[in-house]
Amino acid sequence: MRDTTSPKTRVIKVWDPVVRSFHWLLVLAFAGAWGLGEWGPNQMTWHFYFGYVIAGLVGVRLIWGFVGTRNARFTSFLFGPGKVVAYLRHLPSRDPSHWIGHNPMGGWSVFLMLALLIAQIATGMMSDPKDYINVGPLAQYVPSDISDLSVKLHHILSTLLLIVVGMHIAAILFYRRWKGENLVTPMITGKKVIEED
Residue 132 DSSP label? S
CA distance 44 to 125: 12
The confidence score (pLDDT) of residue 97 equals: 81
* Amino acid identity at 98: H
Chain-centroid distance, C-alpha 19: 10
| Cβ count within 10 A of residue 150 | 24
> What tens digit of pLDDT does each residue of 139-193 get?
999 999 999 999 999 999 999 999 999 999 999 999 999 998 999 999 999 998 8
pLDDT at 2 over 50: no
Q: What is the pTM of this model?
A: 0.89
Phi, psi of 50 (to 5 degrees): -65, -35
Class of 8-196 per CATH?
mainly alpha
What region does 61 belong to: left with phi over 0, alpha with psi -120 to 50, or beta? Answer: alpha
| Cα distance between residue 138 and residue 150, in whole Å | 11
Going from N- to C-terminal start, the domains of the chain cover 8-196
Asked if 51 contacts 33 with a C-beta cutoff of 8 angstroms, the reply is: yes
Q: What amino acid is encoded at 64 in this protein?
A: W
